[in-house]
Amino acid sequence: MRKFLKFLSQRIVIVTFLIFLQVLWFVGLFLKFTSYSQYITAAFKILSILVVLYIMNRSDNPSVKLVWVIVILLFPLFGGLLYLTIGGKQPISYLRKKLEPMIEESERHLKIDPQIEEELKLTDGSTASQIYYLEHQSGFPAYKDSKVDYYPSGEECFRIMVEELKKAQKYIYLEYFIIEEGIMWNTILDILEEKVKLGVDVRVMYDDVGCIFNLPSHYADSLRKKGIKCVVFNRYIPVFSTVFNNRDHRKILVIDGNAAFTGGINFADEYINEKQRFGYWKDNGVRITGKAVYSMIQMFLQMWNAFAPEKEKLDYEKFSLEEVALLPEKERGIVLPYSDHPLDSEFVGESVYINLINSAQKYIYFFTPYLIIDNEVVTALILAAKRGVDVRIITPGIPDKKMIFLVTQSYYPQLVEGGVKIFQYRPGFVHAKCAVCDDKIATVGTINLDYRSLYLHFENGLFLYDCHTVMAIKQDILDTLEDCNHITEEMCKKICFFITTGNFADFCSVIIKCTHKIKHIKIPRAH
């Protein structure tokens, strides 16, 4: 009973209930008015027809348009009004107004080196084209003389993080989706408190929904009392709005311009296996040193300056590429940090994956915790397999969300039949997100192969070419495959019985795909 009362008293439960009451009130009001007159009913139906015609003439993704048309057909009375309320990009105008000036300011300080692209064109035109795309669509340049160290577990990455944090002398900037009190975060917090006392500028930014079950609503105030500047991204408040679907899923740690970290790891004990909820938690992380750290600084500045109080905003002129710690030795390869956001119609994260799949000649391997992809990605994966590319995808063996896992498995039959090899990780949950291709290219970061990461969230990643990290990622995947079950066509028939017979899981798959694309359903904890 006590646990139940504690659950009811949680902020997300209260807020969700208040939003639900608003929805009921609007629906009730709508039904009341439509019952008064057949003319009002007819007007709303005509509106829905006009909205369908408008949708079909938009340049959106065809699957997005199809989902909206289905919704309006299911609810012809108020489907059109629903689209006008939450469709398109209007719901995120608030975020766009805040962020676009910061992105523009950041781009003034980020300079593309055309020589890198020109040199690469002579040896690898395909990769040069991918770098050109990323530089011009994400706004972050490619660098030489940068090093990326890969860590195949949260435990190993955390140990290196602690070492680097203890070296901090000027500033520590953190931007994470999930923070939870425990061994991992408390260890970091102790260091942050110590550094603040020594005059180090410490700033923390976390996502409100990502932390809603983990941190009290006033946690930011408690950090500020310790001298740590703190911003909570996109607070979850009781207002019916789709803007709450757009979460800050990025993981960025920058220390003094000397080192930066990213990857799948959040600051909670399950990520370092101090707490096991779904078997062994398989994750990864990277440390960046050299010139590429400057882009990680700029990523943090964009988000921080967009949402921090005016007096706590950071001066872009305070940071420069020349002040970033240079490597003692030249490193081979190209490193390109990039970010993705839902403020435009350019799906950078998805495009990176599709470009890698299409360019693969020998193999392409993936880690992903979720597999909820659109037709473009499915088609690219199958076509790659059909032209002889070894396509392998590692997914969890023990899911963190059973319903989402059913949807992930709903993709197995089509992919396996098309020649894609799928493996489930026996010991537990895979949270790593990366891809490696042909011993020369890899991408690692925060971007899952699912709708929320690809379309709704703020994300970040690293594009790596001809770096030693590429082979480290490949080796990690090969090592992990030894602890995986290969999903065969026969196994698909067994584990996906409901899907292949058109039953419950298939229905759930459609519903989740629809709700993700409509950008309305709140799924608070995505990792």
Name which of 240, 250, 222, 218 is nearest 433 in CA terms.
250
Last residue of a domain, one of 63, 91, 119: 91
Any idea what the CATH number is for the domain that residue 430 is in?
3.30.870.10
501 contact partners, CB below 8 Å, separation of at least 6 = none
Q: What are 245's two structure tokens?
A: 């679907």
Last residue of a domain, one of 41, 58, 91: 91
Asked if residue 206 and residue 101 are part of one domain, the reply reads yes
Is 523 a member of any domain?
no
Asked if residue 224 and residue 361 are part of one domain, the reply reads no
Asked if residue 513 and residue 365 are part of one domain, the reply reads yes
Q: What are 426's two structure tokens?
A: 């026996």
Place of tokens 């190209």: 334
Q: Tell me what percent of the chain is helix, strand and coil, each rounded to the nearest 5.
A: 50, 20, 30
Asked if residue 255 and residue 364 are part of one domain, the reply reads no
Residue range(s) defining the domain that contains residue 430 = 348-518
Altogether, the residues listed in the chain come to a count of 527
Asked if residue 132 and residue 258 are part of one domain, the reply reads yes
User: Residue 263 gets which letter from DSSP?
Assistant: E
Q: Kindly calculate the radius of gyration of the chain based on its CA atoms and give it in whole angstroms.
A: 23
SS3 labels along 333-368: CEEEEEEECCCCCCCHHHHHHHHHHHHCCCEEEEEC
Last residue of a domain, one of 44, 76, 91: 91
Domains: count for the chain: 3
Could you tell me the pTM of the whole model?
Answer: 0.86
Is 343 a member of any domain?
no
Render each residue's pLDDT in the chain as its tens digit; 527 residues. 555 555 555 556 655 666 666 666 666 666 666 555 677 677 778 888 888 888 888 776 676 677 778 888 887 877 887 777 666 555 477 788 999 999 999 999 999 999 999 999 999 999 999 999 999 999 999 999 999 999 999 999 999 999 999 999 999 999 999 999 999 999 999 999 999 999 999 999 999 999 988 899 899 999 999 999 999 998 876 554 555 678 999 999 999 999 999 999 999 999 999 999 999 999 999 999 999 999 999 999 999 999 999 999 999 999 999 889 888 778 889 999 999 999 888 999 999 999 999 999 999 999 999 999 988 999 999 999 999 999 999 999 999 999 899 999 999 999 999 999 999 999 999 999 999 999 999 999 999 999 899 988 999 999 999 999 999 999 999 999 999 999 999 888 876 554 444 444 444 444 445 444 444 333 344 56
Asked if residue 459 and residue 318 are part of one domain, the reply reads no
Is 112 a member of any domain?
yes
Is 524 a member of any domain?
no
